[in-house]
Structure 1
Amino acid sequence: CPKSEEYPRGHEVIDDIAIYRYKIPLNAEGVLSYFVEFAYAWVATALLSVRVLFREGFDVIQACNPPDTFFLLGALYKLVGKKFVFDHHDLSPEMFLAKYEKKNKLLYKALLLLEKLTMRTARIVIATNESYKKMAIMRGKKNPDDVFVVRTGPDLKRLTPRAPQPALKQGFKHLVCYLGEMCPQDGIEYLLQSAYYLTHSLGRQDVLFVLMGGGPAMPRFKQMSEEMGLQENVKFTGRISDDLVCDYLSTADVCVDPDPYSEWADHSTMNKVLEYMTFARPIVTFDLQETRNSAQQAAVYVKPNDIEIFAREIVTLLDDPERRRAMGAFGQRRIRNELAWNHTRQNLVAAYDRLFRPGYKYQYKEV
């Protein structure tokens, strides 16, 4: 996997798991760099896989995406008896359309082809939700018995609610939090526009917005915030420790997911939503299919990309503490009883049972 600011070491062992990382020289921001990033990731991973084969040994390659190019590696290792599992994290063709303003039909079709070849090479496909499972069956022509939904449920040992920390509000009455990577497709500009409308048009100067996380687009969004005159009401923390994330989410009055509508967003599960629910926080989000499937009654759903209604719904929740508590409690129960990792990991075990016992069938509960 690639190195990051949080995990800069090329090799380490965590919980008896050997981890090998490579350095990513750039974040793709155009079509050419998109190709370069894909090719570089494949070569770096292939070289590391040979090293792992001789140092550690392995029986299975479980490859997530993007990029959707590791089927070539899987096909090569299948020749020597290794098995290939596709861990389908993102709809790469739809993500490409969401990420870049200039559409390139040829590249989009190429991404569709890579996805199909990956599905065809994989013995088992792990999907993050029911929408992705349908894609694997319909677009990837997979046997439904070979596709397993394994949601990335929160780890309740790592994300632990605690007492609110009023000092984090910095003197403001209300705290609104965002958690996650800040990439071009993540809708941070919609959140900033909503924050501007809330503070200037609605006159709510009693609200602090805290945006937690890094990402290639964070500097641009931070500059946008300053140009909009939001320095007093919007704070960018950058990447912070899990402890501080827990403090902020335990203190927040409302959490937000500003992902705008796109085919990619509509079919994807946003981990931030599940993390908000873990901390019993009410959520304001644009109305996306898989977000609604995850949060259900824990969120208020706004017409996609309407920043004024988004801001008004934040204010409505801030002024209704009883409703906030009820929504938060519903979300937290749903995490603890259905969506936490200790529940969803059972499907991962079932996928590997299927991998090593081809006749094995497992009936899992859709959540």
Structure 2
Amino acid sequence: MSASLGKALILVENLSVPFDRRVWQEARSLTAAGYGVTVICPQGRGRDTEAHVVLDEIDVHRYPLHGADGGALSYAREYATALSRTASLIYRLGRSTAFDVVHACNPPDALILTALPLRRRGAAVVFDHHDLVPELYVSRFERRGPLHRATLIAERLAFLLADVVVSTNESYRRVAIERGRKSPEDVFVVRSAPDPERFRPIPADDSLRRGQRYLIAYLGVMGPQDGVDHALRALAILRRTRSDWHAIFVGEGDVFDQMKALAVQLGLGGSVEFTGRVPDEEVIRIMSTAEVCLAPDPKNPLNDVSTMNKIVEYMALGRPIVSYDLTEARVSAGSAALYATPNDVEDFARCIGDLLDSPTRREELGRGGRRRFEDEISWRRSEEQLLAAYGRALELARRRR
């Protein structure tokens, strides 16, 4: 393992690696730059199951973890187990390796606490701010109280302990500066984006349309806050006036089974297909065939300021998008999307229909999205910021010693 710039330990809890594309890209970029990289993460279900593996010179250690069932207390149990097993692996690895940087990815924010022993030994700490956990809690459980206050405390501790913060967009950067009280020079925007060489459109596969004229597609997580129900209700409205389309929903999540049931309840059983998680090659095949791609995330305090990976991936594949009119959706997609009135499924359905009826508009949006992706938000630009964040973190850690 090359480590001319130092040794980095990346901690992630909510996905296995390399399935977590953002974390894997970061690990590969750091390795290519000259860091020796170790990752601690949970084992996946049906993938990434080995307890220890070396991939592309990256040392990956995984622990078994039973995921939450959707309830607040089940998340608390999951996180407690993850923190305990992460801390145990850090202790074991730290006995033989002197890590220069610890890179903790939320959620949960409390994961950064496991980095404390290495921080005391002089390691730099990077907080990779994937989600606004307090807002995520409210969006899922629609209530405040002791657990919500606990998420605010954990977030504050994460900002306090971090030498630098890596934010996924400018809105999150603003949270780190204003709510987290970080100095602007210590907060770096590293946008999530696929590899532009791997995520390229390919010729359409007409068989995916299942005999229909058009294919509509969704790619992403299926959690309570992700708006898959909005997309299905919009398709049910669209179905009242036309049946010349087939829809494929790619991804999994806490409400996957409920969404499959909802599709049947709405009379969409024969028109909507759920694939679950599929390899990138299959994602590219489906999305390259789709005439319209959906970003139905409803407007709420979390979604309005979050960058949706699906939007960037649609753009990488040159697909026209229908999205609710959210702050960060516009920042990411710009003119590559048609925007519906927030949380208005009737308007969302209208936008889908308008794009199906306008091949010229679809071509314009898709071509503009791919161009914007290549010029402004591809991973190459994010990589520069990631390496700058590491340089700053190491500088601040040296001052602490």
Alignment TM-score > 0.5, same fold: yes
Alignment map for 1:71-82 (pairs within 5 Å)? 71-82=112-123
5+ residue gaps, structure 1:
361-367
Shift of 1:23: 2.1
For structure 2, which runs of at least 5 residues remain unmatched after alignment?
1-40
The Cα of 1:39 is off from its aligned counterpart by 1.0
2:288 is the alignment partner of 1:240 = no
> What secondary structure does 2:110 align onto?
coil
Give 2:359's aligned residue.
Answer: 321
Residues 284 and 74 of structure 1: is their aligned pair in 2 closer, same or farther, counting only changes over 3 Å? Answer: same
Which AA in structure 2 matches 1:173?
A: R
What displacement does 1:28 show? 4.3
1:2 aligned residue = 42
Match of 2:391 in 1: 353
The amino acid across from 1:77 in the alignment is: L
Out of 278, 281, 298, the position equivalent to 1:260 is 298
Q: Which residue of 2 aligns with 1:198?
A: 238
1:300 corresponds, among 324, 332, 338, to 338
User: Partners in 1 of 2:274 and 2:354 — Cα distance?
Assistant: 24
SS at match of 2:302: helix
TM-score (norm 2): 0.86
Aligned 8 A contact 1:74 1:83 in 2:
no
Report 1:23-42 matches (<5 A). Answer: 23-42=64-83
Equivalent residue in structure 2 for 1:121, among 161, 169, 185: 161
Distance 1:11 1:57, change over 3 A: farther
CA deviation vs aligned residue, 1:92-137 (integer Å, no higher than 9, x gap): 0000011114x13221121111101110100010000000100000
Conserved 8 A contact 1:28-1:37? no
Residue 31 (structure 1) shift: 2.2
Q: Which moved more, 1:109-118 or 1:150-159?
A: 150-159
Residue 89 of structure 1 is matched in structure 2 by: 130
Where do 4+ consecutive residues of structure 1 move more than 6 Å?
none
- Shift in Å at residue 157 of structure 1? 3.1
Kindly indicate whether residue 163 of structure 2 is the aligned counterpart of residue 136 of structure 1.
no
Residues 333-363 of structure 1 show CA distances to partners (whole Å, capped at 9, x for unaligned) of: 0111111101211000111111223499xxx
Secondary structure at the aligned position of 2:385 is classed as helix
1:227 aligns to 2:271 (yes or no) = no
- Which residue identity is paired with 1:19? V
User: For 1:56 and 1:314, how far apart are their aligned partners in 2?
Assistant: 54
Find 1:51's aligned residue among 88, 92, 107.
92
Higher alpha-carbon deviation: 155-164 or 131-140: 155-164
Are residues 1:160 and 2:200 paired?
A: yes
8 A contact 1:277–1:331 mirrored in 2: yes
Q: SS where residue 63 of structure 2 aligns?
A: coil
Give the counterpart letter for 2:167 in structure 1.
A
Counterpart amino acid of 1:190?
H
Counterpart of 1:71, as a letter, is I
The answer as to 2:103 corresponding to 1:62 is: yes
Amino acid across the alignment from 2:136: M
Aligned to 1:365: none
**Counterpart contact for 2:204–2:288, Cα < 8 Å:** yes
In 1, are the aligned partners of 2:314 and 2:320 still within 8 Å (CA)?
A: yes
Provide the rounded CA distance (Å) in 2 between the counterparts of 1:130 and 1:187.
23
SS of the residue aligned with 1:189? Answer: helix
Q: Distance in 2 between matches of 1:277 and 1:25?
A: 34
RMSD of aligned C-alpha atoms? Answer: 1.5
| Equivalent residues of 1:197, 1:308 under 8 A apart | yes
Cα offset, 1:168, TM superposition: 1.0
Q: Secondary structure at the match of 1:32?
A: helix
Asked if the contact 2:163/2:396 (under 8 Å) is kept, the reply is no
Q: What SS does the aligned partner of 1:184 have?
A: coil
Aligned match for 2:372, one of 334, 353, 356: 334
